[in-house]
Amino acid sequence: MNKINIENYNDLKSWPFKEAQQILKRNGGLANFKIPEKGHILLETGYGPSGLPHIGTFGEVVRTTMVRNALTALIDCPTKMVTFSDDMDGLRKVPDNVPNKQMLSEYIGKPLTSIPDPFEKFESFGHHNNARLKSFLDTFKFDYNFVSSTESYKSGFFDNTIIEILENYEKILEIILPTLRKERKSTYSPFLPISEKSGNVLQVQIDEYRPKSKSVIYTEPSNQKKVEVLVTGGNCKLQWKVDWAMRWMALGVDYEMCGKDLTESVDLAAKICRAIGKKAPVNLIYEMFLDEKGEKISKSVGNGISVDEWLRYGSPESLSLYMFQKPKSAKKLFFDVIPKTVDEYIAHYNSYDKLEPIKKIDSPIWHIHAGNPKFFKSDITFNSLTNLVSICNTDDKDIIWSFINQYDPNLNASSNPEFDKLIDYAINYYNDFVLPNKKYLEVNSDNKIVFQDMLNVLKSQITESDTAEEIQTLLYEVGKKHQFDNLKDFFKLVYQVLLGQEQGPRLGSFIKLYGVQETIKIIEEKVNFQE
């Protein structure tokens, strides 16, 4: 990515640039920026591999990538994005969406990378889910470095930082203990020994901390014997909040975002870093996704939509746009947001070339495409396409293309494959959401007069060469003539009779796409003027 050339970086308003500037402040600011000793700026995303990648995983990675791209556009400094897998965590419960559940239930408490793969494909359950994560990220061509918690602990990569944690355990307890319930305070320890007897990650009280010997002493639950264990070499794992701080310090993380539900954890992890004399990374706290009822989306409840489901009805770019928009605001994430977001993407794309340079850089299109938007041409909205499919009542793309080519002879699948995909999305959305809910309104004697006047206008005052706006204006006059209390009711009536639905596209635009003569035919088919 090339550096952007603007006079005042403070004029940049989009949130990825604001986040990038916070990272720069952490490293001396733009004017006095110094490349860190590690030789790069590091941005981290985290993954809990007890479950499969989901839409939240995509959101965090794509948002972090946007910040990374913004940073790269501001400074000449290498950047890295790490996707960290907490695959050394003990299995807390058996997921619902896996085979061999009975087998897995025998491994509760053991590290995910020590548990057989229930799918019988990889050396462990943790390795299986890590592979799924990497495949998922590779599908979207994300640029990332994968880091395994198990490998980092066992290889000794974390050892020096873990020793610092041990040497400062009293300071850490002072930070953590006030946040715990009374019964938890008495047994809490930053260190979780891996039992030599059971292989489990033990939530046990630590009887003695020994910084000089780099060890802790605990009571083995299976036999009540005192055991001394090194904290290095993967013999112990750290509790979550302490583990997060340790990871930041060991990797040299400059930036990490997380969901609102982890606000307390990120605050405590930052305090631990500062207590040891280290810098905490810059953090963005993003809001959670809500379902159609306004309730928090949960993987276990299954009340949201998956990435695959989104991509059945909308492009990856539209999903990226959804993630770009207002990350600090709670947003509804259900099927009806997809058409709206697809059309917003089209609108942003169509206006991109008309923007002044500073506005282009702040545009979602710049961030979605890393400053290099790919070719896409359409002034036809997704809403219009779904309604075209609806009125044609077909999933035959050739039929849909025949109408589109009447509207724009220069538009075709070979020159604009992205638009061709848009037709697929529209057909899928129509079949799954529009068709099952179609309910045509029968025209009564009063309404018949409205459609007769509409027909007369189409036959005598409107031609195929008229613009969508000119058609819309003449149809407005029909609605006004019949004194609808609200002109929206006039258009609602048209949609109910012609499309079998209460909402539809801007009527002038739709008729321009569908064709004046075709619109006349469909009115004559739906309304019996002979009665």
Quote the pLDDT of residue 2.
65
Kindly state the average pLDDT of the residues 277-303: 81
Side chain identity, residue 467 = T
Q: What is the pLDDT of residues 213-225, one digit of tens each?
A: 999 999 999 899 9
Quick one: pLDDT at residue 338? 95
Q: Answer yes or no: pTM beyond 0.85.
A: yes
Q: What is the per-residue pLDDT for 301?
A: 57
User: Token pair for residue 196?
Assistant: 């030599």
Q: When comparing pLDDT for 484 and 191, which is higher?
A: 191
Question: What is the per-residue pLDDT for 531?
Answer: 56
Q: What tokens were used for 349?
A: 């794309």
Distance CA 15, CA 23 (A): 13
Residue 127 in contact with residue 113, Cβ under 8 Å? yes
Q: For residue range 367-426, what is the model confidence (pLDDT) as tens digits?
A: 999 998 887 778 899 999 999 999 998 889 999 999 999 998 988 888 889 999 999 999
- Identity of residue 376: F
DSSP state of 111: B
CATH of domain 445-526: 1.10.10.350
pLDDT of 299 reads 57
Q: Is 210 helix (H, G, I), strand (E, B) or coil?
A: strand
Task: Specify the long-range contacts of residues 325-329, CB closer than 8 Å, at least 24 apart.
Answer: 325/364, 327/15, 327/63, 327/257, 327/284, 327/286, 327/287, 328/15, 328/284, 328/285, 328/286, 328/287, 329/287
The pLDDT value given to residue 325: 97
For the segment 193-219, the average pLDDT, to the nearest whole number, is 96
pLDDT of res. 140: 92
Q: Are 363 and 317 in contact (CB under 8 A)?
A: no
pLDDT at 183 over 90: no
pLDDT digits (tens, 9 = 90+) for 29-76: 888 888 999 999 999 999 988 766 788 889 999 999 999 999 999 999
Q: How far is CA 76 from CA 27, 28, 72, in A?
A: 13, 14, 7
Q: Give the pLDDT of residue 508.
A: 92
pLDDT-derived band of residue 450, with 50, 70 and 90 as boundaries? Answer: very high
Query: How far is Cα 505 from Cα 340, in angstroms, rounded to an integer?
Result: 12
Q: Tens digit of pLDDT for each residue in 427-436?
A: 999 999 999 9
Q: Is the pLDDT of residue 452 over 90?
A: yes
Residue range 215-265, pLDDT digits in tens: 999 999 989 999 999 999 999 999 999 999 999 999 999 999 999 999 999
In CATH, the number for domain 9-177+239-286 is: 3.40.50.620
pLDDT band at 504 (very low <50, low <70, confident <90, very high): confident
pLDDT bucket at 191, cuts 50 / 70 / 90: very high
- Mean confidence (pLDDT) of the chain: 92
pLDDT tens sequence across 465-493 = 999 999 999 999 998 898 887 889 999 99
At 115-141, the pLDDT tens digits run: 999 999 999 999 999 999 999 999 999
Residues 342, 421: Cα–Cα separation, whole Å: 12
Q: How many CB atoms lie within 10 A of CB 474?
A: 15
What distance in Å separates the CA atoms of residue 146 and residue 135, rounded to the nearest whole number?
11
What pLDDT does 530 receive?
61
Do 285 and 260 touch, CB atoms closer than 8 A?
yes
Distance of alpha carbon 70 from alpha carbon 255, whole angstroms: 13
**pLDDT confidence of 295, banded at 50, 70, 90?**
confident
pLDDT band at 6 (very low <50, low <70, confident <90, very high): low
- Is residue 177 over pLDDT 80? yes
